Amino acid sequence: MKEDKIIDFCKFPIMLAPIAGYSDLPFRKLCRKYGSDYAFTEMVSANAIFYGNKKTDILLKSDDEEKKSGISVQLFGSDADRLSWACEYLEGLNRFTGIDLNMGCSVKKVLKTGSGCFLMKDTENVENIFKRMREKIKGLFSCKMRLGYYSTQRNFLEIAKIAENCGLDFITLHPRLREQKFSGSLDYKALETLAKNVSIPVIGNGDITDADSLKRMKDCGVSGVMIARGSFGNPFIFKKLKDYKYTVKPEEFKQVFKEHGLKILEFYGPSEGIKIMRKTLLQYLKSLPGARHIRMEIATLKDRENFFKICEKL
């Protein structure tokens, strides 16, 4: 761990995970407001950075406040040269405190490129990638992985040992196999085994939604946790997990709902912003009693004026 560490593992950090389509700058700022101790960008393609794809610019947006509090870029790729080049490029931007390698994504279009969880099939390539990336990364270097690609190849501990030997600062484990995606039970025993057998911090990820699920993860001996799907439409979760007595009041809910929508519009602009608002804001109302008619209005949201009207109806 670097001497100028941003993450204090002694205090058991609760982090916002890298979530494709969700952990953009507007959402990260809201989660930070409610107690997220560290955050990750959406996953970014090393190839896209190499080829100068302009779509990556929005994914790499950050600000000075984030750098002070801690923000890692999550990269995905399978080629050591491209990943190394991307790390050097990101370091040159001087916006981030760390870089994370995605080794857990189970989406087909990512796996087809040999990236995400597919990397876990080839430990030799993983070791080479770790070494090449570590050479370029001045700040924190981490990886996020699953138990393995196949049920017959649960090699998470082997890869964690390689990560430890290559100088990674911490590891995040989502204790499911690639084929499970987000279904089935978490393997807490595997998480406990990992935490006991490496000297670097282990972060637990998966199905953390309340105090009980947080305690279950803590009992495995992890050094912190990462919240993903539990944060959808719920930036309050970080505060809830730190203060079990905290409850969201209706006016506060309405204010954050509105604030998030406006941040999205400001960040993406009116055209793209409206599209993203439909998906993002629906998450706030998933379990809200009597909100069916409002969900329908959000799903067909057309402009800023309609959004303000919906806010008044909450």
- 42-56 pLDDT, tens per residue? 999 999 999 999 999
Q: What percent of the residues of the chain are helix, what percent strand, and what percent coil, each to the nearest 5?
A: 50, 15, 35
Model confidence at 3: pLDDT above 80: no
Query: Distance between CA atoms of 78 and 45, rounded to whole angstroms?
Result: 10
What are the beta bridge partners of residue 172? 144, 203
Please report, to the nearest 10 degrees, the dihedral formed by the alpha carbons of residues 202, 165, 3, 141 taken in order.
Answer: -60
Q: Residues of the chain with pLDDT > 70: what percent?
A: 98
Residue 291 has a pLDDT of 85
User: Any idea which residues carry the catalytic annotation?
Assistant: 105
CB neighbours of 86 closer than 8 A, spacing ≥ 6? 44, 46, 49, 50, 75, 77
Q: Which of 110, 144, 108, 138 is nearest to 126 (CA)?
A: 144
Look over the chain and give the mean of its residue pLDDT values, rounded to a whole number.
Answer: 95
Model confidence at 4: pLDDT above 80: no
Contacts 24+ apart (CB under 8 A), 205-208: 205/17, 205/144, 205/172, 205/173, 205/174, 206/174, 206/175, 206/176, 208/241
Confidence of residue 5 (pLDDT cuts 50, 70, 90): low
pLDDT, tens digit (0-9, with 9 covering 90-100), for 9-35: 999 999 999 999 999 999 999 999 999
Model confidence at 1: pLDDT above 60: no
CATH superfamily of 9-242: Aldolase class I (3.20.20.70)
Cα–Cα distances in angstroms (integers) from residue 269 to residues 22, 247, 303, in the given order: 16, 32, 11
pLDDT, tens digit (0-9, with 9 covering 90-100), for 273-313: 999 999 999 999 987 888 889 999 999 999 999 999 999 98
pTM assigned to the model: 0.95
Residue 289 has a pLDDT of 81
Residue 287 has a pLDDT of 77
Query: Distance between CA atoms of 110 and 147, rounded to whole angstroms?
Result: 18
Provide the terminal-to-terminal Cα distance of the chain, rounded to the nearest Å. Answer: 46
- Are 30 and 264 contacting, i.e. CB atoms less than 8 angstroms apart? no
CB neighbours of 303 closer than 8 A, spacing ≥ 6? 270, 274
Model confidence at 191: pLDDT above 80: yes
Structure tokens at 68: 């002070």
User: Looking at 1-10, 16-25, 153-162, 256-265, which range is the least confident one?
Assistant: 1-10
Residue 2 has a pLDDT of 47
Residue for token pair 């990269």: 75
Better pLDDT: 69 or 288: 69
The type of residue at 149 is Y
